[in-house]
Structure 1
Amino acid sequence: MNFVIDGIRYFVETCGKGHPLLVLHGFTGDHSTWTPFYKQWAQHSTLYALDIVGHGKTDSPADVEDYQILRAAEDLHRFLEQNQIEKTDVLGYSMGGRLALTFAIQYPEKVRRLILESASPGLETAEERHERVQKDEQLALFIRNEGIEAFVEYWENIPLFASQKLLSTEKQRELRRQRLTNLPHGLANSLLGMGTGSQPSWWEQLGKLPNSTLLITGSIDKKFCMIAEQMRAKMKNAKWITVENCGHAIHVEKPEKFGTIVSEFLSNL
């Protein structure tokens, strides 16, 4: 299905019966990130798998302002309002996790349970944010100048995804095929508008979150394990699970384990 907010056409795939579950993919991903889990999660939830602006079948507007994370969170709120959804569970991976957290902080009354996979509240200091913005600007320029194929080749080989080299050849090809469906200017603008450096820092807001929250990280992903540990210490009602022998994308590397963790968290009320 499609919905339009301020001229931007969003794509969302829905299935299942039960309490609403909004699922948000990572940078370069799309709604198909969650397809392997539809059958399992649809038993207890009504899934809404949305393509974030600049990704998949959702529009990729020219104006970077349309990609700001606060604007994206507001659009999620308006989607829920349009569909008369009073309260939803929200699951987000990496970039989608930052958006999920932003949404929960801006609209806590709309969130029942929050699941953050390899996600961050942003950078704490202005210096860190400035440095990251510069790096994201350089990468956005690379995408625009070199094209989607060159960027995907680069992206697949960054250290964050090193453990994905252990996946089957077919699975790696499947990930590449999906990434290549994105538009260069959509990904570039996403980096500029929704990158870790450009978003607000939510560290000081974590203690105010009333929602029951699950943090999931992979044991190989030391950076995000450290972030999750620091987040849990600041949050009132958070649980942290680390999946052994797994990197940044737990849902890709250990899908059966990941699917079960999510189902158990959402079903254990």
Structure 2
Amino acid sequence: MLNYRSAGKVGAPTVVFLHGFLGSQQDWQDITEQLKNDFHCISIDLPGHGDNQQQLAEQVLPTPGFKRCAELITATLTTLNVHRYHLVGYSLGGRIALHIAKLYPEQLLSLVLESCHPGLQSQADKIARKQNDAAWADKLSTMPISEFLTLWYQQAVFSDLTPVEQNALVTKRSSNNPFALANCYQATSLAEQDDLWDIPGQLDIKVHFIAGHQDSKFMALANRWQQQQSIMLHTIEASGHNVHLAAPKQFAIKLQQLFAVKIDNSNN
């Protein structure tokens, strides 16, 4: 099994959360605290992340590793007797969620993708991405983890973060095992991912895309995807790539709305 954390009511509708690269199940705590009165929330550590770093030998991923990730997550949920659930995935977690939707569509009640890429479509883009990811993996394997993280959070996709927020993330992520992360990073490179642009049209459930208003790259991608497939785009103000970190209350309220649960605003 993968490491996980559960909150809320067993027997209520289940929501499964998958974090992004460098994250852990703890990243969803602000969200699950707001949802636990209405849902059974399960946050899972991806292979090589969180407490799964202790079981690296058992969870080394092949390349590509998306199918294996989907199998590990599904096996964990089966052990927990969870067979139908809403699936929420951020960034890398969203890309893995798309593979789960492809492999196990009958298990999903709905699919919520946050700042998630459905896949590169040209061979040239895949070659360029593979070279770029190999360079990052080399840095991850050879540099002190704090130096790697400082470089990582200077990328344009994280430009909405203040220097204080960047430093906080560097501190928070510095306890990670770089070799475990490097395995997961290369195995789940966007260059290794299937082209999943058509998956929403193959599902009998609602597919939602949540994007931060300040994340111009993924806003544009989501708009293009929405023109091709039956996905619903939801924009949250005052947030960038990591919406649930920047605006946890708004994110949780949006999930409640998407899952058709009445919101009690009496204490607001």
Fold similarity call, TM over 0.5? yes
Name 2:181's counterpart in structure 1: 187
Q: What are the within-5 Å matches in structure 2 for residues 222-237 of structure 1?
A: 222-236=216-230
Name 1:12's counterpart in structure 2: 4
Name 1:209's counterpart in structure 2: 203
Indicate yes or no: 2:243 matched with 1:250.
yes
In the TM superposition, what whole-angstrom CA distance separates every residue of 1:50-102 from its partner, at most 9, and x where no partner exists? 10001111133484417701110111222222222221110010001111111
Unaligned runs of at least 5 residues, structure 1: 4-9
Name 1:266's counterpart in structure 2: 259
Name 2:212's counterpart in structure 1: 218
CA distance in 2, matches of 1:60, 1:231: 35
| Aligned-residue offset at 1:235 | 2.7
| Aligned-residue offset at 1:216 | 0.5
CA distance in 1, matches of 2:227, 2:22: 30
| Aligned-residue offset at 1:129 | 1.3
Q: Is the 8 A contact 1:64 1:192 kept in 2?
A: no
Indicate yes or no: 2:31 matched with 1:34.
no
CA distance in 2, matches of 1:264, 1:154: 37
Q: Is the 8 A contact 2:15 2:88 kept in 1?
A: yes
Q: Residue 231 and residue 60 in structure 1: after superposition, are their counterparts in 2 closer, same or farther (change >3 A)?
A: farther
Q: Is the 8 A contact 2:114 2:210 kept in 1?
A: yes
Which moved further from structure 2: 25-34 or 155-164? 155-164
- 2:191 pairs, out of 176, 191, 197, with 197
Name 1:152's counterpart in structure 2: 149
CA distance in 1, matches of 2:60, 2:247: 37
CA distance in 1, matches of 2:32, 2:235: 23
- 2:133 pairs, out of 115, 119, 136, with 136
Q: Secondary structure at the match of 1:217?
A: strand
Q: What are the within-5 Å matches in structure 2 for residues 63-78 of structure 1?
A: 63-65=60-62, 68-78=65-75
Q: Partner amino acid for 2:129?
A: R
CA distance in 1, matches of 2:169, 2:137: 21
CA distance in 2, matches of 1:13, 1:66: 27
Q: Is the 8 A contact 1:66 1:72 kept in 2?
A: no
Q: Secondary structure at the match of 2:40?
A: strand
Indicate yes or no: 2:50 matched with 1:51.
no
| Aligned-residue offset at 1:205 | 3.0
| Aligned-residue offset at 1:194 | 0.5
Q: Is the 8 A contact 1:206 1:234 kept in 2?
A: no
In the TM superposition, what whole-angstrom CA distance separates every residue of 1:165-190 from its partner, at most 9, and x where no partner exists? 17xx4x55542332112110112112
| Aligned-residue offset at 1:268 | 4.6
Q: Is the 8 A contact 2:212 2:240 kept in 1?
A: yes
Structure 2-normalised TM-score?
A: 0.90
- 2:18 pairs, out of 8, 21, 24, with 24
